[in-house]
Structure 1
Amino acid sequence: MKVAVLGSGGMGGVHADVYTKLENVRLTGVCDVRIEQAEKLAARTGATAYSSFDRMLEEADFDVISIALPTYLHKEFAIKAAKAKKHIICEKPIALTAEDAKEMIAVCEDNGVRLFVGHVVRFFPDYANMKAALDSGKLGRPGVAHASRIGGHPGGWFADDSRSGGVILDLMIHDLDFLRSCFGEVSSVYALNAKKDTLDYALVTLHFDNGTIANVESNWGYPGPFHTKAEIAGSKGIIRANSLKSSSLQIAKQGSSNDPGASVVIPGSPGFRSPYELQLEHFLSCISDGGNPIVTADDALKALEVALAAKESIRTGKVVYMQGGRNQ
């Protein structure tokens, strides 16, 4: 399968490097308006560099395009790629507005191409194992969840809400998507936000249709290392993940009458393959065999809608009830 990458920044480089490692995949082009950046990436990966996406469409031979551009450019180039009959792997969030996301999905469907969105947290071993434990019933009925994603402010275009959507749309959306994959549809959203200079901090409370309540925290501006934490508490136990610990996945099971006071901690394997490699390999496999992806474009739209509801709650100071939510 022949692939190309649009955008040669951090994520574009990640995508390009992964493609060079995958079997039966050939990276044929990398594109960036900053031609020097594209040429550096091309030299590293053996692809051809382009400064114009239109020219790459005309000259390069590829079936799939990775769109690793700033969020405000996703819609424009996804639609252009879809009309050129290219399958699309787009970085998250899918778009800045629900209307743009719906248009991207519709244009891809109309042109018979697949659209995948890079909610890569689904492919991190700790998070995948947390969901597997939940789905297996080991935790019992879920009640409360916590998630946090904290790091320094990325600066640049990220600092402009009109281009990035801020910390909720760009960073917290990872956890919003993951929690929705665990608990289903969200009924209501309440959010708080503190923003000043290089600080963008958000705290969001989600109420799910199944009764689970989740508190989600994200922070751009933390002076220490980037880190994530997650916890799901159910009627039979709690499972936790903490990226600051080398063995970050832990399951603490409640003791039974036959085993009083028992508490078992099971460290999870950090895994050896990059989650980005697992994700891109999975998406390409879905294109090859027509399979259903772990995370769909509709999932990406739903996560965006929850993130936008959080921003609306911040604006109004009120709870926002999701359309169709059971607890309206």
Structure 2
Amino acid sequence: MSLKVAVIGCGSIATHRHLPEYAANENVEITAVCDIVGERAEEAAAKYQAKAYTDYKTLLKEESIDAVSVCLPNYLHAPVSIDALNTGAHVLCEKPMATSIEEADKMIEAAERNGKKLMIGHNQRFVASHQKAKELIESGAIGKVYSFRTAFGHGGPEGWSADGKESWFFKKDEAFIGAMGDLGVHKADLARYLLQDEFVEVGAFVETSAKENTDVDDNATLILKSAKGTIGTLAASWAYTAKEDNSTIIYGEKATLRLEDDPTYSLVAQYANGETVKYELGAIQSNDEGGQTTTHVINHFIEAIQNNTVPLIDGIEGKKSLAIILGALESVKTKRIYSLEK
């Protein structure tokens, strides 16, 4: 039986990721699309034989939908996800899941109350090199993990977003945070996933140095400490103008793992005994290549609904990754190391 899906928000992430990936899944029927810009909704509707809406509440009321993708500006993630969950739809929400822990809690509560799936679109967990690195760390092959550095940066949303320089990404009342929310939260989630450890302290420096006419961050560097004592850095930037960087390096007792750091090999394991193992595991999805690669997020979401399993990044996982970014903001505000332990 195919699932009836609606995509709310028809900007870049919907047109490059959600819509084509739903269309490629044989268990899905794209029933409705919604965007406040009517032309965008009409265009998507025509392409995928769906019904176009400009008001999501009307869509939820008129359509019988099994699942919804929320691809909207950050400040709308929580209210729209909650409304969709309350109408009995499963929800896949883009990251960051919310703009506060209170909002995240309300989303989780709505999913539980309605017996529906809530998944957050953290696609870094599905990258082959990241999954392989997690296996190596778990198996003990690299020994104790001492430290790491992870980065995610590109030239900024103006080259990627549907509205270019006028994008909501640059407006604090809609985006809430800039590069840290767009890119940094992905890496916070990835670090938690790879290390299978929770971060307990965060310190951060956050700047707006590369973009004009914006009140959100475009460069952020975080220092993180985990419960097991692993320390590392996380950089998020909209100022990597020449080439996207999506790399992670894990420094362990017996080996160093370089993820998405080599142009040919997506994972390079350099062992302390001098041995090097190179893995060619397929490219990470990137904004650079026209988005032809799949993120696996949609398929995982649909499988979780069909098999009644918990998605890899449910609301609770999404909230833990969001908490790191919110903690970084507190660190900046207070000029102190912020404790994430509650």
The normalised TM-score by structure 2 is 0.88
- Structure 2 stretches of 5 or more lacking a match? 158-164, 212-216, 286-291
Contact 1:250 1:265 in 2 (8 A): yes
What is the CA–CA distance in structure 2 between the aligned matches of 1:174 and 1:96, rounded to whole Å? Answer: 15
Asked if 1:190 is matched to 2:203, the reply is yes
Asked if 1:295 is matched to 2:304, the reply is no
Aligned position for 2:162: none
What is the CA–CA distance in structure 2 between the aligned matches of 1:45 and 1:175, rounded to whole Å? Answer: 32
Aligned position for 1:136: 139
What is the CA–CA distance in structure 1 between the aligned matches of 2:222 and 2:6, rounded to whole Å? Answer: 37
What is the CA–CA distance in structure 2 between the aligned matches of 1:254 and 1:118, rounded to whole Å? Answer: 36
**Aligned pair partner of 1:240 in 246, 258, 268:** 258
What is the CA–CA distance in structure 2 between the aligned matches of 1:19 and 1:187, rounded to whole Å? Answer: 37
RMSD: 1.8
Deviation at 1:170, TM superposition (A): 2.1
Deviation at 1:107, TM superposition (A): 1.5
Contact 2:85 2:111 in 1 (8 A): yes
Contact 1:227 1:244 in 2 (8 A): no
What is the CA–CA distance in structure 1 between the aligned matches of 2:61 and 2:168, rounded to whole Å? Answer: 29
Aligned position for 2:298: 280
Deviation at 1:163, TM superposition (A): 2.3
What is the CA–CA distance in structure 1 between the aligned matches of 2:293 and 2:187, rounded to whole Å? Answer: 15
Deviation at 1:196, TM superposition (A): 2.9
What amino acid does structure 1 have at the position aligned with 2:198?
Answer: E
Deviation at 1:48, TM superposition (A): 1.7
Contact 1:91 1:118 in 2 (8 A): yes
Asked if 1:322 is matched to 2:322, the reply is no
Aligned position for 2:325: 307
Contact 1:189 1:309 in 2 (8 A): yes
What amino acid does structure 1 have at the position aligned with 2:179?
Answer: V
The C-alpha deviation readout for 1:187-212, integer Å capped at 9, x for no partner, is 11111122135172111110000111
Query: How many pairs align?
Result: 318
The C-alpha deviation readout for 1:273-299, integer Å capped at 9, x for no partner, is 977552111111111111122222111
What amino acid does structure 1 have at the position aligned with 2:199?
Answer: V
Contact 2:123 2:295 in 1 (8 A): no
What is the CA–CA distance in structure 2 between the aligned matches of 1:50 and 1:194, rounded to whole Å? Answer: 38
Judged with a 3 Å threshold, the aligned counterparts in structure 2 of structure 1 residues 276 and 36 are, in CA distance, closer, same or farther, namely same
- Structure 1 stretches of 5 or more lacking a match? 256-261
Which secondary structure does the structure 2 equivalent of 1:269 belong to? Answer: coil
What is the CA–CA distance in structure 2 between the aligned matches of 1:56 and 1:163, rounded to whole Å? Answer: 22
Which secondary structure does the structure 1 equivalent of 2:320 belong to? Answer: helix
Contact 1:124 1:275 in 2 (8 A): no
Deviation at 1:169, TM superposition (A): 2.1
What is the CA–CA distance in structure 2 between the aligned matches of 1:275 and 1:299, rounded to whole Å? Answer: 25
Aligned position for 1:11: 13
**Aligned pair partner of 2:223 in 205, 218, 238:** 205
The C-alpha deviation readout for 1:11-48, integer Å capped at 9, x for no partner, is 11120111111122111111111110011111222222
Contact 1:35 1:51 in 2 (8 A): yes
Aligned position for 1:258: none
Contact 2:180 2:325 in 1 (8 A): yes
Contact 1:194 1:202 in 2 (8 A): yes
1:68-83 equivalent positions in 2, closer than 5 A: 68-83=71-86
Contact 1:169 1:308 in 2 (8 A): no
The normalised TM-score by structure 1 is 0.92
What is the CA–CA distance in structure 1 between the aligned matches of 2:110 and 2:61, rounded to whole Å? Answer: 20
Deviation at 1:272, TM superposition (A): 9.5
Deviation at 1:214, TM superposition (A): 1.3
Contact 2:127 2:284 in 1 (8 A): no
Judged with a 3 Å threshold, the aligned counterparts in structure 2 of structure 1 residues 130 and 85 are, in CA distance, closer, same or farther, namely same
Judged with a 3 Å threshold, the aligned counterparts in structure 2 of structure 1 residues 210 and 301 are, in CA distance, closer, same or farther, namely same
What is the CA–CA distance in structure 2 between the aligned matches of 1:306 and 1:152, rounded to whole Å? Answer: 24
